[in-house]
Amino acid sequence: MFKWGLFKKDLSDTGLPAELKAQINSLHTKYPGTDRVVLVMDQLCRVIREQKEELEDHVRQVKALDQQLDQNRRAKNFQADLLTSMCDEIQAPVHTLNQLGDWLDQTHLDPNQRLGFNFYRKTARKLSDLFNHVIDVAKLREGTLQPDPIAFHLNEVVRETMQLLNLTAQEKGIPLTVRINPDVPQYLIGDIKRLEQILISLINNAIKFTYEGEVQVQVQLAADEGSECTLNFLVQDSGVGLPENHIHTLFDRLSQGDPDVERNYGGTGLGLYICKCFVEQMGGRIWAENRPEGGALFGFSIRFEKGSMEETEDALLSLSQLTLTEAPVSHQDVDEDQPAGSAVSPPADAETPNGNSHKMKILVVDDCPDTCRLIEKFLEAGPYEVHVVHDGLAALESYDQGGYDLILMDIQLPQLDGVGATMEIRNKESRQAAAKTPIFALVGDPGEDNDGYYLAGDFDRCLIKPVSKGDLLEAIQTLHRSR
């Protein structure tokens, strides 16, 4: 409220322009009391000016904050781009180490060499696990890791996962058992890759922290809702248990529950965080608790659509036609003594797609020399003649020379990428009415719809890098059988 009694008739101390003061004094002579009104107006102008200055100050602060946020966003995008670029560069050498281990495992090693090789291989796999965790976290942050539901048989998935880890448990003398309740539906539709990854991570943790007793996996029906059902997966161990004051942070990023865990057991603390993200992405929940009889229990619940035998068979048929396997999980990642590439080996008298016993002529197109050398090593013992080039234009020149029974085409190539090179080859075949040469795409970073994308690009099959010897030979043998 303005205090009228405080206003003066003298306008000399107001902030009004001199010309306006003169006009007001003239008006005051004619109309007494005008000065009081003008003083009030002047006071209001002062208040408005002060508020305007405050508002302008706020605007400046908002602009500065917006600039800071923009800088933070650019820095965050730079970090994401840098991480993606580094992962692309690191992926090839990391996986080459593992594939080199597969090849060395088939050579004759004396006991000392075998001891050193086993140490090398375990170290390489730890590096590979860390790399895969970083990739998963990066994809989760970018929102590019989306569910990929397919039909599957639950009993087979769980038991195959247990078989992958059974040797690890046997090395510690720990029984690894599974119980699937009879009322659990067997034919389901869900993200089988993520389910396997969650189970492997939790079971691995249970084995790592258990020195006696057993590790048990149990699957229960939590809810049956017609066309859908909710299942509880419980991983129980008799190990060291969980610190009560850290249980609520176990699934946080980089958390390991106790400061001594990293020193005593190793690990990055990313595994449980990734499990939590996968479970929540599939609409479920995950938890951990101590068991009354000792040890820990990790559980998660996920809702699945109910499937059928026919849908599962169709899904298996689709997978057999297009090899889309993730690199981090394979049977070779568990068995330290069994040759990793021995699952599928070509017979000495294997026939080529043309039906004769001559060597199959294969063109490998990849800009990574290490990848090319490994593929050559994988195929050197079989009836194969391998030629290598490192860019798309060179691939076209080699194709023009003719006579290839199979082309293994990397996607990201210098000069001309793999998709462009393949399309050009298909155009040449069409113009010349020539027989179609089988071309397998070698994909380094598979996306959600790469199968349809690469098939639309006239590839015959898609193999996820790094390609193991078993996967490569299986794909070639499937090609033999289909032609």
Burial class, 199, CB count within 10 angstroms (exposed 0-12 / middle 13-18 / buried 19+): buried
418 touches 386 (CB < 8 A): no
Measured torsion, CA atoms of residues 95, 100, 102, 105, in degrees rounded to the nearest 10 = -150
Whose structure tokens read 């059902």? Answer: 229
Amino acid at 432: Q
Give residue-wise pLDDT tens across range 164-222.
888 788 888 899 999 999 999 999 999 888 898 899 989 988 998 888 889 999 999 99
Per-residue pLDDT of the chain (483 residues), as tens digits, is 444 344 444 555 555 567 666 666 666 666 565 555 666 667 677 778 888 888 888 899 998 888 888 888 887 777 667 766 666 667 767 777 777 777 787 778 888 888 888 778 777 777 777 777 777 777 777 676 777 788 899 998 898 888 888 878 888 889 999 999 999 999 999 988 889 889 998 998 899 888 888 999 999 999 998 899 999 999 999 988 888 887 888 887 655 545 454 434 445 567 888 889 889 988 899 999 999 888 899 999 999 999 888 877 766 655 544 433 333 333 333 333 333 333 334 444 444 444 445 789 999 999 888 888 888 888 888 899 999 999 999 999 999 987 899 999 998 888 898 989 999 999 999 998 888 999 999 887 555 445 555 655 688 888 887 787 888 888 898 887 776
How far apart CA 440 and CA 410 sit, in angstroms, is 8
Q: In what order do the strands lie in the sheet with 406-410?
A: 384-389, 360-365, 406-410, 439-443, 461-464
The 10s digit of each residue's pLDDT in 5-33 is: 444 445 555 555 676 666 666 666 665 65
Provide the whole-model pTM.
Answer: 0.55
User: What are the CA-CA distances from residue 387 to residues 71, 258, 375, 377, 471 (Å)?
Assistant: 49, 53, 10, 12, 20
Q: Which amino acid is at 452?
A: G
Nearest partner of 192 among 233, 147, 232, judged by Cα: 147
What would the two tokens of residue 46 be? 């002062």
Which DSSP state fits 352?
A: P
Residue 58 is encoded by which pair of tokens?
A: 């706020």
Would you say 421 and 413 are in contact if contact means Cβ atoms under 8 Å apart? yes
User: In sequence order, which ranges of 178-269 are alpha helices (DSSP H)?
Assistant: 192-208, 259-265
Supply φ then ψ for residue 15, to 5 degrees. -95, 15
DSSP 25-57: HHHHHHSTTHHHHHHHHHHHHHHHHHHHHHHHH
- Residue 218 CA to chain centroid, in angstroms? 27
Contacts 24+ apart (CB under 8 A), 377-383: 377/103, 378/103, 378/341, 378/469, 378/472, 378/473, 379/472, 381/345, 381/346, 382/345, 382/346, 382/350, 382/473, 383/346, 383/348, 383/349, 383/350, 383/352, 383/357, 383/358, 383/359
